[in-house]
Chain A
């Protein structure tokens, strides 16, 4: 009996520490991140201004821990699933907007590209539940 209880306790503790590891900054259930522009399937000539929309949450600087607010990340041609236990990567396919930008000038080579927005918390982790936009496809001529 005692052993079972100990095992249970250990399991509970392990679960707790896991939970602590994932940032899991809570986001409101109705939070919505979306593209104001471009729309899915848009055909664009040259560079374009990509505009980020966010409902029921606020945009702030990376590093700020105001409740219900985060900053945008634009994922370009990213196929790997989002890992919610790691900061959103930083490379040429994961563009960060930690200064609180809500739009960006994007220049992509001609062809088809996917775009997706992910909202990150103060430390660049996805929220819980993740606040992620629809993945759209644009064609650059």
Chain B
């Protein structure tokens, strides 16, 4: 900013004759670059190239478009994009970084592709396929000083977004960057505001603990002095109590306090208070331990809660193989085509309310589901389901995902090619669907696993709740992939749902049945199950 003003004052800008084709404008510039690209290329040239291209195509370009930005230029390992809105620019950066965590989660560390991202607000000159200006250079310098997997922003961006984007911002002070005269104020973006407060809170807790100890010693001393010696026996008894309370803290200070010749009635609650206030400190310890083993995950996922044990959905491993996908019963199921499925695991049941609410409790899913713990979660949109798998993947370090449509049908068929997995005719007790011959359960949807499993040991593959899969909706299988991957080209405003629900009749419970629904819209019969590549 200051640069620009000086430029105008010194009249330097007028030296350059105005060019009609190169308009200047203010823009938020995002610069991204892969860490150790040449090292990655050395390790695996073709693989890295293919992966980088895929990331650019599947993640970077769509994310930029989604945030109303424009990809200006890509270099071999990096990119420049401009945005009208600083908020959108930073959001885009965060989305890319968070997505990369998920992508890297299943790979060994030396194959990780990590981006550094810098965002700056500046005046730029835009040409067809490139941008120029101070602002661009600063963005690129910010990017170069950023830690792998981090987003660094300039002071100008920070001023614009600090009250608008709920993130943590850590000031790194004024930094001198290469070839730029004035130092640049740099902030590090922490997508999870609690990550910042965590370190601060621990310090506060230690302070509170020490303060309480001092008070305790004072109070104890005063009482010792005031109380008649007759009370001595009772004091002996009372001494045990605070000793127990402070023992789990394992702090030498705490043990000193316990041995100090003081405690009596009023002092004991003070110790307990101190203990309860310091409780967050030990719970932060596991998070810190995780930060050592998985620096990427712990740093940025809101999911890392000190929850005692994460209840992971039960998964069935399937061997994969070739099968005929589709049927001739409905136009959307044609043409029947051969698909080869790689080995993968799929959850035995649709995701339950209990499983969902772990994600909601970690503030990584949009809402808390009502209903019984064992009931399938419903009223989730495709985007909701994606949030859940992203959270679970980050929290467990396993690459959980939604199944592809082909994987879903392969799993639902359970090795059969009949109309239903149990045969050609409808049979009671097999699926939770409308008018399927069962006495309707009092509460719908019935809890997961209420009906018979298919030959692959999977429950509720047909009926129960509709289940989202990864694929975008295509009206027929014309042009569908045959390698079992998700079909994500084309119109992605709606995604595929499978299985049919308890509200649909038996035709919908067929493994070949398919339907679609708007990506971001929730509906009370829609749920999902998850998959995992080995």
Residues of A within 8 A of B (CB): 61-63, 87, 89-92, 96-99, 107, 109, 123-124
* Known contacts A92-B515, A99-B493: A87-B524 contact under CB 8 Å: yes
In whole angstroms, how far apart are the Cα atoms of A89 and B504 in the complex?
A: 9
Give B490 Cβ to nearest chain A Cβ, in Å: 14
- CB neighbours (8 Å) of A123 from chain B are 524
Compute the total of residue contacts between A and B using a CB distance below 8 Å.
43
In whole angstroms, how far apart are the Cα atoms of A94 and B525 in the complex?
A: 14
**Top 4 A-B pairs ranked by shortest CB distance?**
A98-B521, A99-B518, A62-B521, A98-B518
The answer to whether B508 touches A96, judged by C-beta atoms less than 8 angstroms apart, is: no
- CB neighbours (8 Å) of B504 from chain A are 91
Give A137 Cβ to nearest chain B Cβ, in Å: 22
Q: Which of B517, B519, B520 contacts A90 (CB 8 A)?
A: B517
Q: Quick one: closest A residue to B332, CB to CB?
A: A92
Q: Quick one: closest B residue to A87, CB to CB?
A: B524
Give B66 Cβ to nearest chain A Cβ, in Å: 15
- Among B466, B493, B504, B521, find the residue whose CB has the most chain A CB atoms closer than 10 A: B521
Name B's interface SS.
loop
Q: Say if the beta carbon of B523 comes within 8 Å of chain A.
A: yes
Interface size of B by Cβ–Cβ distance < 8 Å? 20
Give A98 Cβ to nearest chain B Cβ, in Å: 3
- CB neighbours (8 Å) of A107 from chain B are 475
Q: Say if the beta carbon of B522 comes within 8 Å of chain A.
A: yes
Residues of B within 8 A of A (CB): 330-331, 466, 475, 493, 501, 503-504, 508, 515, 517-526
- CB neighbours (8 Å) of A99 from chain B are 493, 518-521
- CB neighbours (8 Å) of B519 from chain A are 99
Q: Quick one: closest B residue to A122, CB to CB?
A: B522
In whole angstroms, how far apart are the Cα atoms of A99 and B518 in the complex?
A: 6
Give A89 Cβ to nearest chain B Cβ, in Å: 6
* Known contacts A63-B522, A96-B523, A99-B493: A89-B503 contact under CB 8 Å: yes
- CB neighbours (8 Å) of A90 from chain B are 466, 501, 503, 517, 523, 525-526
In whole angstroms, how far apart are the Cα atoms of A23 and B301 in the complex?
A: 38
Give B445 Cβ to nearest chain A Cβ, in Å: 13
- CB neighbours (8 Å) of A98 from chain B are 517-518, 521, 523
In whole angstroms, how far apart are the Cα atoms of A89 and B331 in the complex?
A: 21
Q: Quick one: closest B residue to A105, CB to CB?
A: B475
In whole angstroms, how far apart are the Cα atoms of A63 and B523 in the complex?
A: 9
The answer to whether A96 touches B503, judged by C-beta atoms less than 8 angstroms apart, is: no
Can you list 15 A-B contacts (CB < 8 A)? A61-B520, A62-B521, A62-B522, A62-B523, A63-B521, A89-B503, A90-B526, A91-B503, A91-B515, A98-B517, A98-B518, A99-B493, A99-B518, A99-B521, A124-B524
Q: Known pairs A87-B523, A96-B521, A98-B518. 8 more at Cβ < 8 A? A: A62-B523, A92-B330, A92-B515, A96-B523, A97-B518, A98-B521, A99-B518, A123-B524
In whole angstroms, how far apart are the Cα atoms of A32 and B504 in the complex?
A: 29
Q: Quick one: closest B residue to A91, CB to CB?
A: B504
